Amino acid sequence: MKLAILSRNTKLYSTRRLVEAARQRGHTVRVLDPLRCYMRISSDGFAMRYKGKPIEAYDAVIPRFAASVTRYGNAVLHQFEQMGSYAPNPSAAFARARDKLRCHQLLAAEGIGLPVTVFGDNPDDTDDLLAMLGPPPHVIKLNEGMQGAGVMLTEKPSASRGVVEALRGLYANFLVQEFIAEAQGADLRCFVVGDRVLGAMQRQAPAGDFRSNLHRGGIATAVEATADECAVAVRAAKVVGLGIAGVDLIRSARGPLVLEVNASPGLEGIEAATGLDIAGGIVEHLAAHVRPVARPRRRRPVSNGN
């Protein structure tokens, strides 16, 4: 298999591990900076070049780019798809996953549990909007926040109103959720590949914080997710359209609730906590799913008689 990894940094742990796992299994792999890929779009075919040379016939492609390059990166990913590459995380799903609001709507529509969530636009509606949610504590999140940045806990109605007004003033998109107190600062990251949870870890927030993100000082330990939690995680990834996903669950009194479905989940935390070869699992999944030959998709020439 010939594999492309769309990443801006070859030194990142996840990128390195995917390269290593692919080479160990005898595959050809190349890391491409999505911002150096340039494309020709025409009804007679799709072409891509990279630093002056053509890019063609990659069997599979994995997006590993940051939120800041989502738009361009997704266009590159879509071009690979048009050229016949297998994308376990296709561009449409990748874009969806990076929009929390949309994901929540899709998950709720499929009956998947999540913290009750409200959002609105007009400042005149703030009081009524918060009333739809119920009394604080509330969790207020930036719609495009990552790694716990832009996730706030408010304990009084005046604090909720103040934060909402401040975010509006900054033209930020956000959502407000019920606070799941019984989770006690812990969440569960389930690493989904295909129809399976390859590994799971519990992340515990540091003292004084409710956010368990590892980037915020959370501590990770390997855990066995229950059958119910695995089923919810796999279903959530499927609803968003992702073959590879980090699904964050919170354990609530009413069962597992989905906090987030991450389309480019980091490998370092989960491999360190579980000791599992998650990168290898991803590569094996790709190898089992690539189409036999990936060729640029071209329109058949129309013959004159037709």
Q: How far is the CB of 144 from ligand ADP (least distance, A)?
A: 9
Q: Which is nearer to ligand ADP, 7 or 212 (CB)?
A: 212
Name the phi and psi angles at 86, rounded to 5. -80, 125
Q: Which is nearer to ligand ADP, 91 or 177 (CB)?
A: 177
Task: Supply 72's token pair.
Answer: 């361009």
173 binds ligand ADP, rule: CB under 6 A: no
Q: How far apart are CA 264 and CA 174, in angstroms?
A: 21
Query: Which amino acid appears at position 89 of this protein?
Result: N
Looking only at residues 207 through 236 of this chain, which bind ligand ADP when binding is defined by CB under 6 A? 210-213
Q: How far apart are CA 98 and CA 116, in angstroms?
A: 19
List the one residue from 259, 263, 282, 286 that touches ligand ADP (CB under 6 A): 259
260 binds ligand ADP, rule: CB under 6 A: yes
List the one residue from 63, 73, 148, 246 that touches ligand ADP (CB under 6 A): 148
269 binds ligand ADP, rule: CB under 6 A: no
Q: How far is the CB of 107 from ligand ADP (least distance, A)?
A: 13
Q: Which is nearer to ligand ADP, 96 or 141 (CB)?
A: 141
Q: How far apart are CA 59 and CA 22, in angstroms?
A: 13
Q: How far is CA 220 from CA 46, 60, 71, 209, 256, in A?
A: 44, 31, 31, 15, 18
Q: Which is nearer to ligand ADP, 49 or 216 (CB)?
A: 216
In degrees to the nearest 10, what's the CA dihedral of 19, 21, 27, 30?
-10
Q: How far apart are CA 238 and CA 231, in angstroms?
A: 11
Residues forming contacts to ligand ADP in the complex (CB under 6 A) are 115, 139, 141, 145-148, 151, 177, 179-180, 183, 187, 205, 210-213, 248, 250, 259-260
